[in-house]
Amino acid sequence: MVISSFDDWRQEARRLVLAGVAPHEADWQGNTGLLDGLLDATGSGDPPRTLRIPRALPELLASAARFRAEDRWALLYRVLWRVVTGDRSAILAGDSDGSELHRRIKAVRREAHHLHAFLRFRPCQATEVEFIAWHEPAHEVLDLGAEHFIGRMGRTRWAIATPDGAACFDGHALHYRHPCPPALTRLAKVVDERGDALWQTYYQSTFNPARLNEKAMRGHMPVRFWQHLPEARLIPQMVSEARAGQQRLAQAADVGERDGKAVLIARERAQPARPTTSALQDCQACAIWRNATCAVPGEGPQQASIMLIGEQPGDLEDLAGRPFVGPAGQVLNDALLAAGLERDALYLTNAVKHFKWEPRGGSTSRGATRLHATPKPAEIQACRPWLDEELNRIRPRVVVALGRTALASVLKMHDPQRIRLADFGGQAIRHEHFWLLVAPHPAAILRSRGDAEVRLAELVAALEQANRLAHEA
């Protein structure tokens, strides 16, 4: 039997407990078939004589069941089994199962709050729905959060579409649909921007640049929701404006204190002597920082034997503060999979740490789409100390330069445009303390017309070669 809901689990768990099947004998992983077999057998545990459980337990278990995790049914069963066999510490926060249970309940509550806070209805053209929202909750909280909107939206007909299910209010009653009908998904994903200006104006009016705390902001408003929030498009610009304002104030104060040394101070700031991640966030060695949300540091294990270097963070990386999480990151993930490499085992970074962009169509209006702009040689050079620091700290055996900018930075060549990638293709070069391989950049693969498959194959081949070199004695 497939366990697809808490009710399914509850029925099966009850039968297993009564059959004396201990948690280690029940395999809930696949959620299919295995339980039926087990039910015919008798477990080795002592079945409890009665099923007495604390009154609060079903609610705790039901809440934790909303947390998406492979072991969700197994954890619930372990807790249930321990409680019915007399060990009530299983639901206490000081117990290992209990603390995991409470952590999940808390995460579910938080996700229900996110549904209220970060869901945005947009006007919809369809006759049966006037307002529609797309939301991607991390856990199963749609039915926990959807009712909240009945009071908010009056008698209007609205729908919330999610990757799993939908909540539809027809003006009188709320109905849940599982799975979400494809037509509703399509409607929800077609963004009708009428009304966005209102959100943006509201957000701008509540944004206080003097109290900007980017870390807290990312904590309260997880970046994964930003792409569906109209006001999020304003954040990078408001953040950089706020930073520039702070910077002006700080400089004015410094200059006031140290008469005549302003140039020196600026130079000290521009060339941090010993790079650290927090210093990276303060880097102003070139002008790109002004329009970026944050500097994106490299990520991966400190002992990684392979380092991949891209050009610079893109739009989503700039919002998330992590490298290769956008569309180019997807291409890279596919290539890594094809090459049999685990992303988590590699160190991923970029030659340039800030996202350089320009508004689409040259407009500077707020909320404009941010288009990637190629970093200039001087900007690549200004960022080079950060890459050096990473190369010295990680000391990879193999470096894969993804595209020209990365290659120019590694080889300390001034102008990437003078490099012909074909001259390096398929050959490992011994450079400093590592092997250097050159591969097409995943974003170039995305953009390429006609030869995307060939270039993807080149990327995969370079990654496979990196893997071989990293494991050679």
Residues forming contacts to ligand URA in the complex (CB under 6 A) are: 310-314, 317, 323-324, 326, 328-329, 350, 443
Taking the complex as a whole, the smallest distance from the CB of residue 230 to ligand URA amounts, in Å, to 24
Under DSSP, is residue 349 helix (H, G, I), strand (E, B) or coil? strand
Taking the complex as a whole, the smallest distance from the CB of residue 123 to ligand URA amounts, in Å, to 33
Q: Of the two residues 200 and 409, which places its CB atom closer to ligand URA in the complex? A: 409
Beta-bridged to residue 430, according to DSSP, are 435
Q: Of the two residues 63 and 349, which places its CB atom closer to ligand URA in the complex? A: 349
Taking the complex as a whole, the smallest distance from the CB of residue 407 to ligand URA amounts, in Å, to 12
Contact, 320 vs 223, CB < 8 A?
A: yes
DSSP assignment string, 272-322:
-SS--HHHHHT--SSGGGGG-S-----BS-TT-SEEEEES---HHHHHHTS
With 0-12 / 13-18 / 19 or more C-beta atoms within 10 angstroms meaning exposed / middle / buried, residue 127 is exposed
Q: Which residue is nearest to ligand URA (CB)?
A: 310
Closest CA to 234 of 348, 55, 369: 369
Compute φ and ψ for 426, nearest 5 degrees. Answer: 75, 5
Whether the ω angle into residue 179 lies within 30 degrees of 0, i.e. cis, is yes
Closest CA to 63 of 145, 9, 16, 6: 6
Helix (H) or strand (E) holding 347: strand 347-350
Taking the complex as a whole, the smallest distance from the CB of residue 317 to ligand URA amounts, in Å, to 4
Q: Of the two residues 230 and 326, which places its CB atom closer to ligand URA in the complex? A: 326
Q: Of the two residues 200 and 350, which places its CB atom closer to ligand URA in the complex? A: 350
Q: Of the two residues 139 and 455, which places its CB atom closer to ligand URA in the complex? A: 455
Taking the complex as a whole, the smallest distance from the CB of residue 349 to ligand URA amounts, in Å, to 8
Calpha distance 349→149 (Å, rounded): 42
Taking the complex as a whole, the smallest distance from the CB of residue 350 to ligand URA amounts, in Å, to 5
Q: Of the two residues 257 and 342, which places its CB atom closer to ligand URA in the complex? A: 342
Taking the complex as a whole, the smallest distance from the CB of residue 322 to ligand URA amounts, in Å, to 8
Q: Of the two residues 275 and 310, which places its CB atom closer to ligand URA in the complex? A: 310
